[in-house]
Chain A
């Protein structure tokens, strides 16, 4: 009996451990099943493929403005996510069905128009077409992030408080639509049609008059023209920017050692 008890105990222990492993296996399986089937990919482990991406990931670049200063093209949307992250708000402007005539009949896909902005100086626009709405929206958000530009804001009259309006009259054109943004006094709000109003709000411009010409019924071109106008705010050379600053070196030059040393240098593309 004394022998039987520990044997039974041992047996129970063995069974228990097997059951425990089985339980853990079941749990793992359940977790994998739940996450594997249509789950979102983990966005935390980003492996950069461009030089700029690598610099950003390792924190060598402090802010998005350093990239804009040298007009470096941004080819990875994670770069924008890294700097603007939570502040970025995306908005689906429109989902519309588009049809294409094929041999087998008509084929309908969904086209998503997305605007993205952080309500404080950055704006982007993206459009993507796909068979599923979710894929189209996701793709459009990525393209919108890649097209993020900085927005310059200025004052209307007195330079008190924070900048609230466009610094000068700027105009953007797309297709037949041309949109003109005109500075407005504080408290005016945005005076425009609904589509540019959304864009201007997302860009962080609080007060602005607009003037649109051309067929403003094509909202796509209308939105793009507004985006072009907003982007031009930093392209306009105002007298306060006349001062000559010393020429700096681009991040690629600055961190050339870092870029050269990194193993797996085979992966990245010369940008």
Chain B
């Protein structure tokens, strides 16, 4: 029997699910995680305490700062792989204590501590923190832009719909309930539900005291200034983006570099430069001030895409990452030279060709002989057999209806412009030739500085 009184089958060859019979939390779904050393499976996030208890009792392993570890399940998976082939001593610091796990006295029992003194551990912890930050930021981005939010206000009877930030602002401007700036918050739905829960149970938001009825609670919160979240209450930490930052500094110390101090420093730096009057309240920052401060501040080049737009083949469903792969695929799979077909055509004609071929493929028609087929496979077989791969004749695709893209977000249409000299189409608005002839004005030349003699 372990400490919770549940049966622990240590030597059982089959892994067992350990259930915790408490109400499940709102957020994550349960995920099975197996122990680091043995094969017992625990269900996360409910079985977390059991897991840690089991680690301590059965394997004498303690994880340092386990509450600070982001994405605990992945952390444990990582170390599980490592410990399959290595012993605890290789990675953990060993401690000698004078008692057994269940409290009985003993001498020099070995205990293991897995902490971030070890560089691999620190690395994995940092990586996981960054990963969690990414996830949280994408959730935050969604909440920032999603307009389908609708909820009744906690105080009055108004139903606020639209952005979540309007709801938070309404709570602040009308009822002086400060949850924080909406851009700094994440998991807003959960936060509002939690606050609503507290108000319903007649518990004060700040000091967590219970009251008799709603009126006394409201009066208390108003008088004491408790209409806000207690900064010392760690259970609200997950709702503020600030807490997800990856910082290897002491956790409980507040950041000492206050914003106004850095602004002062910058103002002193730029006194010689042309600058506006440095005012604390107005946000009138001159461009030069920005450039001399952090280089990364106004740098646009570090925003990289997670996934690139892929190009779909004209005939089959193959996705290609870029134009070269696309061309090669067409050559290899469909023995079709895309470039030779597009040679000599201007941009608009190429657009029409692509849209035409896409339309034909969609309708399962052959591009060359216009025969209709039942499905894509038959069409491909026909094209292969008769080598009807191609783009069709000019009179087939040169119709104005093919100006409009057949598919939404067709990546192929955005890279067609390889030839910059397409001024040959007469149906387009006439544009001036790209080359400009600059004639130097003789009078202007006389004014050139070289002609002045400064003595």
Name A residues whose Cβ lies closer than 8 Å to a Cβ of B: 30, 33-34, 37-39, 41, 47, 49-50, 75-77, 91-92, 94-100, 104-111, 113, 127-129, 131-135, 137-139, 142-143, 146, 154-157, 167-169, 174-175, 180, 182-185, 187-189, 191-194, 209-213, 216-221, 223-224, 237-239, 267, 269
Contact A188 B405 (CB under 8 A): yes
Q: Which residues of A contact B290 (CB under 8 A)?
A: 143
We find that the number of chain B residues with CB closer than 8 angstroms to chain A is: 73
Q: Is B410's CB under 8 angstroms from A191's CB?
A: yes
Residues from chain B with a CB closer than 8 A to the CB of A111 are 296-297, 302-303
Cross-interface CB contact of B305 among A30, A39, A217, cutoff 8 Å: A217
A99 CA to B178 CA, complexed, in Å: 30
Q: Is the CB of A267 within 8 A of B277?
A: yes
Contact B181 A38 (CB under 8 A): yes
Contacts of B309 in A (CB 8 A): 193-194, 216
B305 and A131 form a contact (CB under 8 A):
no
Cα A111 to Cα B298 with chains together (Å): 9
On whether A169 and B296 interact (CB within 8 A), knowing A75-B284, A92-B144, A134-B183, the answer reads no
Rounded to whole angstroms, the CA-CA distance of A143 and B289 in the bound complex is 12
Question: Do residues B246 and A108 form an inter-chain contact, with CB atoms below 8 A?
Answer: yes
> Chain A residues with Cβ under 8 A from B302's Cβ?
96, 98, 111, 220
The reply to whether A95 and B283 form a contact with Cβ atoms under 8 Å apart is no
Q: List 15 A-B contacts (CB under 8 A).
A: A49-B277, A76-B284, A97-B134, A104-B249, A105-B249, A108-B245, A110-B241, A132-B181, A135-B259, A154-B429, A169-B431, A182-B347, A184-B403, A185-B404, A218-B303
Contacts of A77 in B (CB 8 A): 283-284
Say yes or no: is B255 at the interface (Cβ < 8 Å to chain A). Answer: yes
Q: A95-B137, A139-B285 are in contact. List 20 more A-B contacts (CB 8 A).
A: A38-B178, A77-B284, A91-B145, A92-B144, A94-B303, A98-B296, A104-B249, A106-B247, A111-B296, A127-B297, A143-B285, A157-B429, A185-B400, A191-B410, A194-B409, A212-B414, A213-B415, A217-B308, A220-B300, A220-B304
Is there an interface contact between B241 and A133, defined as CB atoms closer than 8 Å?
Answer: yes
Shortest Cβ distance from A40 into chain B, in angstroms?
Answer: 9
A97 touches B298 (CB 8 A): no
Contact: A239 with B432, CB < 8 Å?
Answer: yes
**Cβ-closest 6 pairs across A and B:** A105-B248, A211-B417, A220-B300, A34-B176, A220-B303, A134-B183
Chain A neighbourhood of B369, CB < 8 A: none
B435 at interface, CB cutoff 8 A: no
Identify which of A133, A239, A267 contacts B183 (C-beta below 8 A): A133
> How distant is the Cα of A39 from the Cα of B305 in the complex, in angstroms?
36
B406 to chain A, nearest CB (A): 11
Residues in A whose Cβ lies below 8 Å from that of B184 = 132-134
A15 to chain B, nearest CB (A): 20
Chain B, 286-316, CB within 8 A of any chain A CB: 286-287, 290, 294, 296-305, 308-309
Contact with A along B300-343 (1 / 0, CB 8 A): 11111100110000000000000000000000000000000000
B242 at the interface (CB under 8 A from A): yes
A176 CB, nearest partner CB in chain B, Å: 9
- Whether the Cβ atoms of B248 and A183 lie closer than 8 Å is no
Partner of A217, one of B282, B294, B304: B304
Contacts of A105 in B (CB 8 A): 247-249
- Is B279 in contact with chain A by the CB < 8 A criterion? yes
Q: Which residues of B contact A238 (CB under 8 A)?
A: 431-432
Most B CB within 10 A of own CB, among A108, A139, A184: A108
Q: Which of B145, B303, B431 contacts A219 (CB 8 A)?
A: B303
Residue of A nearest to B246 (CB): A108
Interface residues in B69-112 by Cβ distance below 8 A to A read none
Bound-state CA distance A156–B140 (Å) is 40
- A174 CA / B300 CA spacing, docked (Å): 10
Which residues of chain B (171-186) have a CB below 8 Å from chain A? Answer: 172, 176, 178, 181-184
Q: Give Cα A96–Cα B431 distance, bound, in whole angstroms.
A: 41
Docked-complex contact A188 and B403, CB < 8 angstroms? yes
Once the chains bind, are A189 and B414 in contact (CB under 8 Å)? Answer: no
Question: Are B347 and A209 in touch, CB under 8 angstroms?
Answer: yes
- B301 and A221 contacting across the interface, CB-CB below 8 Å: yes
Measured CB to CB, the nearest residue on chain A to B294 is A129
Q: Which residues of B contact A132 (CB under 8 A)?
A: 181, 184, 241-242
Q: Is the CB of B300 within 8 A of A187?
A: no
- The closest CB in chain A to the CB of B416 belongs to A211
B344: Cβ under 8 A from any A Cβ = no
CA distance A194 to B374 in the complex (A): 34
> Contact partner of B283 among A96, A142, A169, A211, CB < 8 A?
A142
The answer to whether B414 and A187 have CB atoms under 8 Å apart is: no
**Interface residue? B39 (CB, 8 A):** no
B198 at the interface (CB under 8 A from A): no
Q: Are B276 and A97 closer than 8 Å at their CB atoms?
A: no
B429 touches A41 (CB 8 A): no
Shortest C-beta distance, A81 to chain B (Å), equals 12
- Shortest distance in angstroms between A98's beta carbon and chain B's nearest beta carbon? 6
Partner of B414 from the list A33, A193, A239 (CB cut-off 8 Å) is A193
**B133 contacts the other chain (Cβ, under 8 Å)?**
yes
B140 neighbours in A (Cβ, 8 Å): 95, 133
Is the Cβ of A211 less than 8 Å from the Cβ of B404? Answer: no
Q: In the complex, what distance in Å separates the CA atom of A185 from the CA atom of B140?
A: 38
A127 and B304 contacting across the interface, CB-CB below 8 Å:
no
Q: Is the CB of A97 within 8 A of B414?
A: no
A128 and B415 CA atoms in complex are apart in Å by: 31
Instruction: Give the chain B neighbours of A184 by CB distance below 8 A.
Output: 403
A92 to B309 alpha-carbon distance, docked (Å): 21
A210 contact from B181, B259, B304, B414, Cβ within 8 A: B414
CB nearest to B290 among chain A residues: A143
Question: A155 and B417: CB pair below 8 A?
Answer: no
Q: Pick the residue among B246, B304, B427 that contacts A218 (CB under 8 A).
A: B304
Contacts of B403 in A (CB 8 A): 184-185, 188
In angstroms, Cα B343 to Cα A263, docked, is 69
The residues of A that contact B276 with a CB separation of less than 8 Å are 49-50, 75, 269
Chain B residues 40 to 84 lying within 8 A of chain A, measured CB to CB, are none
A221 to B242, CA, bound (A): 28
Bound form: Cα–Cα A109–B227 in Å: 29
The reply to whether the CB of B375 lies closer than 8 angstroms to some CB of chain A is no
User: How far is A79 from B275 in the complex, measured between Cα atoms in Å?
Assistant: 18
Residues of A within 8 A of B300 (CB): 113, 127, 174-175, 220-221, 223-224
